[in-house]
Structure 1
Amino acid sequence: MLPTLLAGVAVFWAVFRLLRWGRRESFLPPGPPTVPILGNLFDFPTVYPWLKSAHLMLTEMARQYGDVYSMKIINSTVVVLSSTTAIREIMDKNSAIVSDRPASHFAQEITGGNHMGASRYNDQWRRLRRCAREVLTQSACRNHLNIQQAEATQLMYDMLTRPEDFFDSIRRFSTSAILSVLYGKRAPRITTPEVTAFFDAEHHWEELMQPGAHPPVDLIPIMKYIPERWASWKTEVKITRRLQRKLYFDLLEQVEARMQKGSSNGCFMETVIEKGPGFGLDREAVGYIGGNLIEGGADTTSAFLQTLVLALVNFPDVQARAQEELDSVIGGEHSPQPDDIERLPYIQAVIKETHRWRPVAPTTLPHANIEDFSYQDYIIPKGTIIFINAWGIFHDPEVFPKPDEFNPDRWLQDDMKSDRTYDLVFGTARRVCPGMHIARNSIEIDAMKLIWAFKFSKSKDPATKRDKVYDLNDFVKGILTGPSRFECEIAPRSSHHAEVIRREFLSATQIFEVFEQQLDSADREFVGKLRRDLADELHLL
């Protein structure tokens, strides 16, 4: 009798607990209505959570429930922040306890806890972070401006000679610049193996890490035991791990080989290899530091620059005004140099507005808190998943009037000149991107050079002969995003601009050669022919 009674009590208790799943506790901030067990599972968008769709969007919910609202995803709590005030009150004041990441089975299986962006807030993360921060100081990053400047001259040349390939040329630039800075090896072609390998691996990684895109293994742990033939995500995890490790550790081996031969070139990974043991990092962790920094410097920078081109094409008045400023400050005898950005307030405003208008990380990477804390009359319990709705903040009409318009002038107003809201794209609390100085340098150099060099305009519709109409919300899915491929017309602003581009690209040869020691035969043949042909062309001019 007693065993039966105990079993009944146990079943009742289990059912009682299960039925409480999905309910919003009274101490949480308000939010959309929940349903039993699932909570708001079907309210949380799985694709384009920052743009309009059939789902209740994160930003739309902020308008209804406030700048801090909560959702229940089965038995987990999600809090969404949609104002700078909320970020200051929650993220800045509680930075020591909100810098965790939600548990990620996928990230753990792929990287073994060595991914600096996705790992939990633990001793290993602190070791990784400390190493990256000490190596990637602002002053140290300035030592690498020469190769970033040189890579930007190749991007100008590539867009001059193959404007139809601008989308891939931007990808080549961003990847080659970060590879040169980190590993001392550049990527001179769109098809350089490291470029194609990175974007292949990154596509798989972003697909896996996108919230809601795959079954909630972290919320329902028993799903980990589903056989692989019925769990396609397990195959995807294996593919992603293989692709990442092949790229990251092949690059690491090349740096080690170069150091052993005494041919170091001052790249960051040489310093990490030397100092890694002092930070308590083994070779596995060192390999992932470099790989994580490639992610932060290649994909995000290329997405930003592609977005910039999309904006210049669709807002010609902005382009004309930016070029007027460049002409008056820089002139036409040479392209802009890194330090020129300080004298170009409108170009700075264009960069900030691009970050605001279409942020690369519309919801940023989610945070989690390691202990309970209070906010106003609410309690945010330990383990809450915290999303920063950067898109909603950047498109709040109370802060940014007519937010869908691309208007750099808003950043030139006295009350906005010192505003750092756009820094959200680099993260917050103790999860600020350690490679932000490298990324900023690349973005500033290229924004100046591309606007100085080219006129960007709409392509013509072959059928109507009219300007094409661009969907300004057509962005690729993923937790990091950029515009889907689009066509546009790109032409040098004058024949003189074209000649300056050619001369500056050829004059960068000495800088490039330092980072070309380990090119494969196809890349070596490519750069040799390219420079011979360009020298002959300039001789004829």
Structure 2
Amino acid sequence: MNTEKFIDTDTLLRLQQSISRFGVVNVITAAFITGALALLLDYVYMLYLRSKMPPGPIPWPIVGNTFLLPDSKPWIYFEKLAKDYNTPLITFWIGRNPTVWICDAWAASELLDKRAGIYSSRPRMIVFGELGSGQSNLVTMYTRTAEERDRFRVHRKLMHQGVGVQQVRRYRKFQNDESKIVAYDLLSSPEDYVMHFERYATSVVSIIGFGRRVSTWRDPIITEVIALMHLAADLNVPGKRFPMLMETFPVLAKFPNKIAPWKHGLGRRGRRRGGSHDFFYSLADEANKTPGHEDAYAKMLFREAPKYNLQPQEISGLAGNLFGAGSDTSSSTLITAVLAMRAFSETLLPAWEELDRVVGTQRSPTFDDEPNLPYVKAFVKEVFRWRSVAIIGGQPHSPTEDDYYNGWLIPKNTWIQGNVWAIHRNERDFPDPDRFNPYRFIKGSADGRPFPGERGYMTFGWGRRVCSGQALAEQGTFITVARLLWGFRFDPALDENGNEIPVDIFNYTNGLNMRPQLFKVKISPRNEEIRRTIELEGKQALEDLAVYEGETQYRLSTFYKA
């Protein structure tokens, strides 16, 4: 008898379902085991790399050390880690990616200056690279291949033609005049010193770039563009919040913009409706089409565009970098200078003595006075050292090949950041580092210490990625700080009860380009003769700068709505 005839249909169905369920369970189990094994192997590799790289906290799988990041000012945390591990370099894992933080001047000089040939590239960056200006901007360009290095050299050359060491000497006349107007404006509204500095710095780069000055701090080009620079600085701080969390988990950048509010790409804000180009390109194009001022940087870019096959987004990047390199950073440095003058009033006495002897009261300082003002020059250097604006040295570097330092491995494509905060506060190089002390930079002074590089500070970065606007910033900061020291007192402001309002030398913003939070100070002319000189020079400077008067039709706040 055939027993199969007696197996009913329900039994067969149940048997098939059991086999099917068993298969699904097997698939799920196999996938889980495979995933767990892959995670384990990945973590083992992370720990292996950690054993070869500079010391630092033990990372967790996938998230690394990201959870340890403070909510603000991570450079202070990294300085502490370097001290705890007693090492010039530390490794901190942002997700699965190790970041090497250099907290020592000599290590920074050895790696980023002396080995610039392999440390001048950028790592993969999501926020400021793939979602930002990418390979069309000098700041974020890779230099990993011959083609990339050639393009980098083109952009670097074009920036040097605008703000290189030799070029900026041509700008001294109007830079000095704009500085005179700062002093003139401080006579009538000293409480608005921040806005006066912002106007000055923005006007200088606007004359260089577009042939027109910024005559009032109410000009939208100041308020809107500097706000954009502040946003960029805030977004660029390593952290565990969006958008920088995308650097930890790059997959988040692949979400469509409509369902991904954390995507804050800055460089590619898009084009205006109707297909015209972006804001900085349009400013440059407008300047190029405006008669006169043939030496404006924008006109040079358009003249050179066919030779170098410059694309519109590249012109935009080069023009926009002028603001990035010269407006927010320069004004922030001047605000720091005033904070130092207010908090360390004893440092003003030697400056006043030197300026009274060399300059007198019938004129203000000029660039020709610089060789005879060693203390003022040292004062300016200490401003750059004491509270550097680009506190983590700008965008990260990345080696194009595996490298070693003190026996530690620095793998190819690793993020390398210079912690300028830690470098400039190292007790070995700068004893009592939070004290503002210009004598650190007086040759032969007992307060001086050896330091790599002739300048004695690392404010502007390193190697081939050093800030393009360094010469312009140093030149402008010298003449403006010298004029402030020559012309004014910086006394404590008083509250309604007549009590001095204190200032906090640590109360700075959290952005990549940090500046002091607003503080109150009483700024007044040193004497009546100096006041009269400031008035005379200010009025003359306004007449001399009239040739640069003009107005742009563009407003950043409405540009992309047009």
Using the size of structure 2 for normalisation, the TM-score is 0.85
Q: Measured at CA, do residues 482 and 422 of structure 1 come closer, stay the same or move farther in structure 2, by a change above 3 Å? A: farther
**Structure (1 or 2) with the larger CA radius of gyration:** 2
Q: Give the corresponding residue for 1:375.
A: 405
Letter in 2 for 1:201: L
State the alpha-carbon separation in 2 of the partners of residues 381 and 36 from structure 1.
19
Q: Measured at CA, do residues 413 and 45 of structure 1 come closer, stay the same or move farther in structure 2, by a change above 3 Å? A: farther
**For structure 2, which runs of at least 5 residues remain unmatched after alignment?**
1-22, 555-562
Query: Aligned pairs, how many?
Result: 510
Q: Measured at CA, do residues 402 and 11 of structure 1 come closer, stay the same or move farther in structure 2, by a change above 3 Å? A: closer
Letter in 1 for 2:139: G
- 1:14-39 per-residue CA deviation (whole Å, 9 max, x = no partner) reads 23234447535321111123333322
The percent of aligned pairs where both chains have the same amino acid is: 28
Is the 8 Å Cα contact of residues 41 and 73 (structure 1) preserved in structure 2?
Answer: yes
Q: Give the corresponding residue for 1:533.
A: none
- 1:78-114 per-residue CA deviation (whole Å, 9 max, x = no partner) reads 1111112212322223211111223222223232432
State the alpha-carbon separation in 1 of the partners of residues 340 and 421 from structure 2.
17
Q: Give the corresponding residue for 2:138.
A: 116
State the alpha-carbon separation in 1 of the partners of residues 124 and 268 from structure 2.
21
State the alpha-carbon separation in 2 of the partners of residues 417 and 10 from structure 1.
55
Q: Measured at CA, do residues 467 and 242 of structure 1 come closer, stay the same or move farther in structure 2, by a change above 3 Å? A: farther
**For structure 1, which runs of at least 5 residues remain unmatched after alignment?**
52-56, 522-541
Is the 8 Å Cα contact of residues 72 and 78 (structure 1) preserved in structure 2?
Answer: yes
Q: How does 1:60-71 map to 2 (within 5 A)?
A: 60-65=80-85, 66-71=87-92
Q: Measured at CA, do residues 12 and 38 of structure 1 come closer, stay the same or move farther in structure 2, by a change above 3 Å? A: closer
Deviation at 1:313, TM superposition (A): 0.7
Aligned match for 2:108, one of 69, 87, 90 = 87
SS of 2:138 mapped into structure 1:
coil
Is the 8 Å Cα contact of residues 341 and 448 (structure 1) preserved in structure 2?
Answer: no
Letter in 2 for 1:364: G
Deviates more, 1:301-310 or 1:37-46: 37-46
Deviation at 1:75, TM superposition (A): 1.1
Q: Answer yes or no: is 1:482 the counterpart of 2:512.
A: no
Q: Give the corresponding residue for 1:434.
A: 468
Q: Answer yes or no: is 1:271 the counterpart of 2:300.
A: yes
Q: Give the corresponding residue for 1:75.
A: 96
Q: Answer yes or no: is 1:234 the counterpart of 2:263.
A: yes
Deviation at 1:282, TM superposition (A): 2.1
Q: Measured at CA, do residues 131 and 101 of structure 1 come closer, stay the same or move farther in structure 2, by a change above 3 Å? A: same
Q: Answer yes or no: is 1:205 the counterpart of 2:229.
A: no
State the alpha-carbon separation in 2 of the partners of residues 169 and 241 from structure 1.
32
Deviation at 1:361, TM superposition (A): 1.4
Q: Answer yes or no: is 1:346 the counterpart of 2:375.
A: yes
Q: How does 1:406-421 map to 2 (within 5 A)?
A: 406-414=436-444, 416=449, 420=454
Q: Answer yes or no: is 1:334 the counterpart of 2:363.
A: yes
Q: Answer yes or no: is 1:512 the counterpart of 2:545.
A: yes
Q: Give the corresponding residue for 1:536.
A: none
Q: Give the corresponding residue for 2:12.
A: none
Q: Give the corresponding residue for 1:314.
A: 343
Aligned match for 1:175, one of 192, 202, 216 = 202
SS of 1:42 mapped into structure 2:
helix
SS of 1:498 mapped into structure 2:
helix
Q: Measured at CA, do residues 332 and 474 of structure 1 come closer, stay the same or move farther in structure 2, by a change above 3 Å? A: same
- 1:428-477 per-residue CA deviation (whole Å, 9 max, x = no partner) reads 011011221111111011011111111111111324x2211111111111
State the alpha-carbon separation in 1 of the partners of residues 36 and 516 from structure 2.
52
Q: Measured at CA, do residues 148 and 280 of structure 1 come closer, stay the same or move farther in structure 2, by a change above 3 Å? A: same
Q: Answer yes or no: is 1:31 the counterpart of 2:51.
A: no
Q: Answer yes or no: is 1:152 the counterpart of 2:191.
A: no
Is the 8 Å Cα contact of residues 128 and 134 (structure 2) preserved in structure 1?
Answer: yes
Q: Measured at CA, do residues 273 and 425 of structure 1 come closer, stay the same or move farther in structure 2, by a change above 3 Å? A: same
Letter in 2 for 1:81: I
Q: Give the corresponding residue for 2:493.
A: 459
SS of 1:425 mapped into structure 2:
coil
SS of 1:144 mapped into structure 2:
helix
State the alpha-carbon separation in 2 of the partners of residues 185 and 274 from structure 1.
19
Is the 8 Å Cα contact of residues 429 and 450 (structure 2) preserved in structure 1?
Answer: no
Using the size of structure 1 for normalisation, the TM-score is 0.88
Deviation at 1:211, TM superposition (A): 1.7
